[in-house]
Amino acid sequence: MLEVKDLHSGYGDAIVVRGASLEVRPGEIVALLGRNGMGKTTFIRSIMGLTPPQVRSGTITWRSDSLIGLRPHDIANRKIAIVPQGRRLFPSLTVTEHLTMLKSARAKDGWTLDRIFGIFPRLAERRYHRGGQLSGGERGMLAVGRALMIDPELILMDEPSEGLAPVMVQHLESIILDLRKEGLSVLLVEQNLYSALAVADRVYIMETGQIVHHGTSQEMNEQTDVLFQRLGVH
Ligand SMILES: Nc1ncnc2c1ncn2[C@@H]1O[C@H](COP(=O)(O)OP(=O)(O)OP(=O)(O)O)[C@@H](O)[C@H]1O
């Protein structure tokens, strides 16, 4: 289980995440929602050990071990993967090269190239294309595929639906639900309220670096006026 308690994190003198607490239980999909600039990316970068930002105080615990101070590589070794905002692909590397950076193409255990190509047939067709030649949707699929190749138990996804056509968003939602069936946990940062409610078990809302509301998706579905107000959705 991931447990974040009273996290403060920021850039230089600016504290952006200001006392946020959240937990993700095994096999659970948790959505973190909030308007632009509220600190969601800062929050998940802090969990992954990516700098900036710098964690100032609070605790981040994964299966009883503290993650604070560990490098992203060590955190990935503990089976936590990230699908970063903006995808962060390499323009000159092919689809296959991205997927096999951390795991051999011949690997037989866990997630393999064939399995990734099975859930994303489009990536199989584009296996020799370079990062810089891919469409927005293909880049999104590749970022998810690359995260799966570390055989994660928890995936942190930063706005994976950003820039995707509605049909692709639905595909992604079904993949996230399939991952949960396999026991994976997902922390999903989303701007798309409906996409988040479609897949998440529980939802947290962040405002100016603090969690101001949380509950099950069902509870949230019954209080859409609160959500609309908090998220500025009309
Ligand atoms: N590298 C940085 N240096 C300084 N300030 C930053 C940096 N990255 C983000 N910030 C500031 O931190 C605040 C929160 O940004 P963050 O990206 O965490 O928000 P967010 O909720 O993920 O928003 P979005 O949905 O727009 O990505 C913003 O005011 C932003 O300007």
Please indicate whether residue 228, judged by its CB atom, sits closer than 6 Å to ligand 1. no
Q: Determine, yes or no, domain membership for 9.
A: yes
Query: Best mutation site among 9, 40, 51 for ligand 1, i.e. most ligand atoms within 8 A of its Cβ?
Result: 40
Q: Determine, yes or no, domain membership for 42.
A: yes
Query: What local confidence, expressed as pLDDT, does residue 161 receive?
Result: 84
Measured in whole angstroms, the distance separating CA 203 from the mean position of its chain's CA atoms is 14
pLDDT digits (tens, 9 = 90+) for 131-187: 999 988 899 899 999 999 999 999 999 998 888 888 888 988 999 999 999 899 999
Q: Rounded distance, CA 215 to CA 224, Å?
A: 12
Domain count, the chain: 1
CA of 42 to the centre of ligand 1 (A): 6
pLDDT digits (tens, 9 = 90+) for 36-62: 999 999 999 999 999 999 999 999 999
CA of 8 to the centre of ligand 1 (A): 14
Which residues have C-beta within 8 Å of that of residue 86, sequence separation ≥ 6? Answer: none
CATH code, 157: 3.40.50.300
- The sheet carrying 14-24 orders its strands as 14-24, 2-11, 54-62, 65-66
Please indicate whether residue 42, judged by its CB atom, sits closer than 6 Å to ligand 1. yes
CA of 15 to the centre of ligand 1 (A): 11
What's this model's pTM, rounded to 2 decimal places?
A: 0.93
Query: Best mutation site among 7, 11, 189 for ligand 1, i.e. most ligand atoms within 8 A of its Cβ?
Result: 11
Angle between helices 136-148 and 166-181 (to 10 degrees): 10
CA of 36 to the centre of ligand 1 (A): 8
Residue nearest ligand 1's atom 16 by CA: 39
Q: Determine, yes or no, domain membership for 163.
A: yes
Nearest atom in ligand 1 to 39's CA: 18
Q: Determine, yes or no, domain membership for 31.
A: yes
ipTM for the predicted complex comes to: 0.95
Q: Determine, yes or no, domain membership for 208.
A: yes
Residue nearest ligand 1's atom 29 by CA: 37
Query: What local confidence, expressed as pLDDT, does residue 105 receive?
Result: 75
Q: Determine, yes or no, domain membership for 112.
A: no
Q: Determine, yes or no, domain membership for 103.
A: no
Q: Determine, yes or no, domain membership for 158.
A: yes
Mean pLDDT of 68-72: 95
Domain membership of residue 176 as a residue range: 2-86+152-231
pLDDT digits (tens, 9 = 90+) for 205-223: 999 999 999 999 999 888 8
Query: Best mutation site among 7, 13, 41, 204 for ligand 1, i.e. most ligand atoms within 8 A of its Cβ?
Result: 41
229, exposed or middle or buried, with CB in 10 Å at 0-12, 13-18, 19+? exposed
